[in-house]
Amino acid sequence: MDIARRDLLLSAAALTVGASGIARAAPDRPLGYAIVGLGTYGLGVIIPQFANCTHSRLAAVVSGDPAKAQRVAAEHGLPARSVYSYANFDSIRDNPDVDIVYVCLPNSMHAEYTIRAAKAGKHVMCEKPMAVSVAECEAMIAACKRANRKLMIGYRCHFEPFNLEAMRLARSGAAGKIRYVRTEHGFTQGSPSAWRLKRALAGGGSLMDMGVYSLQAARYMTGEEPIAVTARESTDRRDPRFTEVEDMIEWTLEFPSGAIAGCQSMYSANQNHILLMGDKGRIELEPATRYDGNHMWTGRDGREREVTPPAGPAKTQFAGQLDHLAQCVRSGAEPIVSGEEGLRDMRIVEAIYRSAREGRTIRLDGRA
């Protein structure tokens, strides 16, 4: 998406159109989120972020652990009726405090809870990867459309100041014409019993988790859709962590402009990097997509310059993401990272796996 269109959508989402057709500021009441899955991300990262939000608040929790759910609810002043289990989740339809359901569960559960939330009449924020197959992504989009509810994917980097500034610099020609992108994301997986290493829950290995950052970065930094992908997987199957899913996978994307992206993800080393090479210079981020502490510099004519991005309108990338969907619900605007955006990634993810399996380039533009 080009930056001008993004800015337009972001500002449109901040407004609602009254009966007179005149845009006016959104009503004050922050929209209520129900967090589904009180794990590392839902509980540890997202719930504390409501303190940084303007248009969003915590309204309910959904968990398989009643004691934990009640403790979290009590800590945040939620009434008992706003604590749900997975079994009674569908009764959330009767809770007027909940406008949006945020799915923070293992990947293979994203489709089920998104569809159940839409059927309960709630808007949905779904964590990345959107689901574990193209078919699931399509079913999620259809369910939200049928229910006339918004669907947004938790692609927080679209609200992260370093990534936004890198996109702006790349589009403004600061590095000339972008010819090559290099991006790697990974971390060292510990226990072989982690759900991320179980195919039934994760849908795949490092590609489904950290690889999504590399794939997203290649797309949002170039602003182009890839036309072909060639991939290669490298996994030590004797390692007890990798009996079901891949460790390392690398893939090359070809873009219509002739730009190439060399992308990689792995579960056996920590890495977090984006490099954009243009014909006049470079833009580089390392770390690139962390929760905080990202770092960016540009290089041109043999000189490097550290770049400090302007502060965004939101206090943090997470607050920006949460408030964006709330504003879209208020205004009727489409989220900048909609279900269709998650679906586009999943089509490429499936092509990456297919290319690695079949040992050949897969066209993404419908050409033979």
Residue among 55, 116, 128, 330 that touches ligand NAD (CB under 6 A)? 128
If one asks whether residue 71 binds ligand NAD (CB under 6 A), the answer comes out as: no
Pick 40 or 172: Cβ nearer ligand NAD: 40
Pick 39 or 176: Cβ nearer ligand NAD: 39
In the complex, least distance from residue 147 CB atom to ligand NAD, rounded to whole angstroms: 22
User: HSE of 104 in the Cβ direction (CA atoms, 13 Å)?
Assistant: 21
Q: What is the Cα 55 distance to its own chain's centre? A: 20
Per-residue b/e over 304-334, b at no fewer than 16 CB within 10 Å?
eeebebeebebebbbbbbbbbbbbbbbbebb
Whether 128 is catalytic is: yes
If one asks whether residue 206 binds ligand NAD (CB under 6 A), the answer comes out as: no
If one asks whether residue 187 binds ligand NAD (CB under 6 A), the answer comes out as: no
If one asks whether residue 40 binds ligand NAD (CB under 6 A), the answer comes out as: yes
Single out the catalytic residue among 33, 102, 113, 213: 213
In the complex, least distance from residue 110 CB atom to ligand NAD, rounded to whole angstroms: 6
If one asks whether residue 259 binds ligand NAD (CB under 6 A), the answer comes out as: no
Decide if 206 contacts 239 (C-beta within 8 A).
no
Task: Catalogue the E-assigned strands of 63-136.
Answer: 83-84, 100-103, 123-126
* Residue window 86-125: x/- pattern of binding to ligand NAD, with contact defined by CB under 6 A: ------------------xxxx------------------
Residue with tokens 């559960």: 109
In whole angstroms, give the CA distance from residue 77 to residue 128: 28
In the complex, least distance from residue 68 CB atom to ligand NAD, rounded to whole angstroms: 8
If one asks whether residue 37 binds ligand NAD (CB under 6 A), the answer comes out as: yes
If one asks whether residue 42 binds ligand NAD (CB under 6 A), the answer comes out as: yes
* Amino acid residing at 174: A
Tokens of 56: 């969003």
Whether 353 is catalytic is: no
Task: Catalogue the E-assigned strands of 166-280.
Answer: 178-186, 228-234, 248-254, 260-266, 271-278
Positions touching ligand NAD (CB under 6 A) are 37-42, 64, 104-107, 127-128, 154, 156, 195, 201, 209
Residues with a known catalytic role: 128, 213
